[in-house]
A = this chain, B = another copy of it.
Amino acid sequence: MKTLKHSRQRDAIMNCLMARHDHPTADAVYLSVREEFPNVSLGTVYRNLNLLADLGEIRRLNCGNGPERFDGDTHPHYHFICRECGQVTDLPMDVLDQMNAEAQECCGGQIDNHITYFYGVCRECLDKAKE
């Protein structure tokens, strides 16, 4: 079996995700980490993002369009995507766990969790449209 070894690059990637709350793409993380490690490679970023996600230390987001995003906050929560500017924000509302039971009633299988994305137009884009 494979033992995990410490890596400064992985730390930097993790730190980046803990510090940012804009749910960056792999490429955005790459640009961030490059400020500290100018020679870091995109492959290293992808490899570690996948590793961390598989370990459950970060979360993958598939918001619909565009590349995969990552979230350093593993606490279950919902997201809102603005269809104008594309920004992804956290929604400070409770996750409706009872939906899993309800869904399980009608599917026959076993349901463990659900992912919900809300779509619309964010405050800033609404204001911009008014002008």
Chain A residues close to B by CB (< 8 Å): 60, 62-64, 78, 80, 82, 89, 91-93, 96, 99-100, 102-123, 125-126
Known: A109-B122, A121-B109. A64 touches B64 (CB 8 A): no
A118 near B114 (CB under 8 angstroms)? Answer: yes
Is the beta-carbon distance between A99 and B96 smaller than 8 angstroms? Answer: yes
Given known pairs A96-B99, A103-B91, the reply for A120 and B126 (CB within 8 Å) is no
Q: Are A117 and B120 in contact (CB under 8 A)?
A: no
Residue in A62, A102, A103 with the greatest tally of chain B CB atoms within 10 Å: A103
Q: Top 8 A-B pairs ranked by shortest CB distance?
A: A111-B120, A109-B122, A108-B123, A116-B116, A114-B118, A112-B120, A103-B118, A110-B120
